Each structure stands twice: as C-alpha cells, then as structure tokens.
Structure 1
Amino acid sequence: MTAYLKRQTMRIIAFIMLLIIYLINSGQLTTATEYAKKNPAIATKYIGIMLMTMAVILALFAWLYRRQLQRGNPHHFKKRPFTIKSILQLFAFFIGMLAVQVLWSQLIVHHILPMPTNQSEVDSQALQLPFWNNFYSIVAAPVFEEFIFRGFFFNFFFAKNNRRNIVLGILISGFIFGFLHTFSFSVTTLFYSGLGWILASCYLYFKDIRYDMALHFMNNLWSIL
C-alpha cells in the first residue's frame, strides 16, 4: 500500500508539472498580448520566447509520451492509418461536439444559462493580438492539451484496459479538463467537461492521439470561425 501511494503521488506531481509547463508557455502569449498595444517590441520578444519554448515542450511531450507507451501500453495506443471510414467516424465525433456547443449557445441565447465568464476574456485577448492568439488556440493548444488531458492522464492513472478504468478515466479526465477551463465549479464547467468527455471517448475509441488532436483542432477552428 505504501509503495502504491508513493507511486501515485509521484504521478500526480508529474502530471501537475506537465500542466504547469503548458501554462507557462500559454502565459508567455498572454504577456505578449498585454504588451501588444503599449509596447510592440516587448510583445514581439515574448512571442519569440513563446515559439522557442513551444518547440522544446512539443519535443519533450512527444518523447515522454512515446517512452511511456514503450514501458507499458495495455490500451494498445499507436499510430493507425487514416482511412475514409475512420475520417467519417472522426467527423461523427465532431458533430457530437458541435451538438453540445449549439445546445449550450441556445440555452445562453434564451437566458437559461449565463455566458461563460472566460469567453469574453478570450475574445478580448484575441482582439489584441489576433494572429498569434488564434494560432495558439487552433494549433498549439489542441496538441498540448491532448498530450496532457488524454495521453499522459491515461498513462499515469488509468492504464489498465478494463471497463471500470475506461469509464472512470473518461469521466475524471473530462471533469479536470472542464475545471481547468473555468477554474471554478459551475454549469459552465459541465459544458467544458462535456467536450472533454467526447475527446476522451475519441481517444479511447481510435487509440491514436493524432485523431484526438485533429478533433480538438477542428473544434477550436470552428469556434473561431
């Protein structure tokens, strides 16, 4: 029992550290955005730092993810070929994400639910530095978040391939994903959790994290368009 608790504690610490690394990188973009109008030179400097940091983190995450799967891979995660059938199936997951967002927007329009508080902040930030904020949201965030909330999460905590682990993994992964998009417990958290549940289901269905990244990419692109 002691060895198990120690192992799980180390995994939790490692997961938090990986999350912090990602937040530091996104924070560099936030800083650049704050300087976009008042000091463009400083903003450009932070963008350069962000891009260099992004490249290092991407290499680190990809290496660590492959290393974890080499050590143990009960779910049989691996690269699988994209086929017409798999692309159509991926599109079905995308339709599911769209359905959640359309339903949510209708509830907001009819004043049944409030507008997410972080959405106005995201929109305001994007206006200050539109290209880089949209680039990060569409390209970088899906890659990093899928590595963290699906790849590393399941490798650390729900590696066993059984129904109980799969269901619990999907639920908890989605809740963490939702909470870290709102940093609160509210109905908005459930909205983001719903998207997280779909992404986790997609990951475990295809068993290839690239499909999840593609789904996340499509969702974020649609949100911006």
Structure 2
Amino acid sequence: MFGSSTRWLLNWFKRDLQWVGFLVLYLIDSMILLLATDQASRGGSTNQLIGTMLIYSGLLLAFITWRYQKQLQQNNPRQFGRTPFSWKSIAQLVGFFILMMAIQYAWGLLIHFHILQNPANQQIIDQQVVKLPFWNTAYPILLAPIYEEFIFRGIFLNYFFRKNTRLMNFLGVFISGIIFGSMHVSGLSPTLLMYSGLGWVLGAAYLHFKDIRYNIALHFLNNLMSLI
C-alpha cells in the first residue's frame, strides 16, 4: 500500500514537472518576442531576434504536437483525436464562439461604464503592438492559440485528469480554466474570472468535440476579435 502510494506521488510529481516544462518552453518563446519588441523601440537588432523566434517556434510546435500525439497513443480514455467536420459541428463551434464573445462583450460593458478597469494584460499587448505591430499582432492570433490549447487543454487534461468520469471532467475543465486565467492575470481580481471563463468554455469545447483543432480555431477567432 505504501509502495503504491509512493509511486503515485512520484508519477504525479513527474507529470507536474513535465507540464511546467512545456509552459516554460512556451514562455521562452514569448520572451524572445518581448526582447525583439524592446529592441525595436530602441532601434536595435530586431530582425535577428525575430528570426530566432521563428526557428524556435517551429521546433517548439513540432515538439509539442509530437508529444501530444504520443500521449494520446499511450493513454486516451476519452478517445481524443480527429473528428470529421460537418455542418452540425460547425454550427456547434459557432455556438461556443458566441458564448466566448458574450463573455467578452459583458466584460467590455463593465469596462466601458467604469465598473471595472481595462485588463493590464490587454494594456501590455496594446503597448507592444504599437512598438512592433506585425509580429505582436500575428503571434497572439496565429501561434499563441496553438501553444495554449495543447498546454492548457490537451496535455493538461491527459496528465492530471485521465479518467473519463463526470467528476474528473468537471475538475479538469475548472482547474485548467483557473490556471489559464492566472497565466493572463497576476493576483486575484475580477479579471481573473473573465479569463477563467474563457478557459472554461475552451475546456468544455475540448471535451465536446474531442478534437484539439476545434479549440485552436475557437481560440484563434477569440484572439482575432480581441485585436481587431
């Protein structure tokens, strides 16, 4: 009994380190773009840093995709994979997108009427876009959705909430949403609830469609609308 509990704790700790490792690799990519943006405002060597970021991004995307597929081959009780597109699935995807837009719209109204402040995360993005417009617009629309869906939904759920039960599904979506929100907001605040809400919708979509491509599409559309 003691041996099995020890093995369980060691495996849990190992999965923690592995998941944090994926997150760190993603943050390194973001930091390279941040450095390039800082250099652009100073007239520095931005092109070299952008080139480094593109090479790093390509390698990271290949690695994360490979690891996700490997993970599903080893343990996939929910039968995640590729589901064919249909008019029904597209209509459902639109429904999830409308729900995300409703959260964004409600939040925008609270900010407009000065009930809440504009999220600091969005203010930082806006400042970065001014300094380096193209890459700071392209990155959150094209690359960030892929990284974040693999890390916060795909890999996370199969690392920590493998059993296909109602309780595990609920806890997986809830906790992944909270972590997703906390990565966009520092400290407890109403803004954390908004980002977590978006994460909960994305988590529910992942369990519903069982195909990470739908999540990436939803995240892409959400970020696109936020930056337009």
Is 1:136 paired with 2:126? no
TM-score (norm 1): 0.98
Is 1:68 paired with 2:71? yes
Name the SS of the counterpart of 1:21 in structure 2.
Answer: helix
* Deviation (angstroms), 1:109: 1.1
Unaligned runs of 5+ in 1: none
Residue-pair matches, total: 224
- Structure 1 residues 1-225: aligned runs within 5 Å: 1-40=5-44, 42-225=45-228
Provide the rounded CA distance (Å) in 2 between the counterparts of 1:30 and 1:105. Answer: 26
Identical columns (%): 48
* Deviation (angstroms), 1:113: 1.5
Name the SS of the counterpart of 1:114 in structure 2.
Answer: coil
* Deviation (angstroms), 1:56: 0.3
Q: Which runs of 4+ in 1 moved over 4 A?
A: none
TM-score (norm 2): 0.97
Name the SS of the counterpart of 2:164 in structure 1.
Answer: coil
Name the SS of the counterpart of 1:120 in structure 2.
Answer: helix
Kindly provide the CA deviation profile for residues 10-43 of structure 1, in whole angstroms up to 9, marking residues without a partner as x: 1011111100000000110000000113224x11
User: How much is the aligned-residue C-alpha RMSD, in angstroms?
Assistant: 0.8
Kindly provide the CA deviation profile for residues 38-69 of structure 1, in whole angstroms up to 9, marking residues without a partner as x: 224x1111000000000000000010000000
Provide the rounded CA distance (Å) in 2 between the counterparts of 1:65 and 1:183. Answer: 28
Provide the rounded CA distance (Å) in 2 between the counterparts of 1:162 and 1:149. Answer: 19
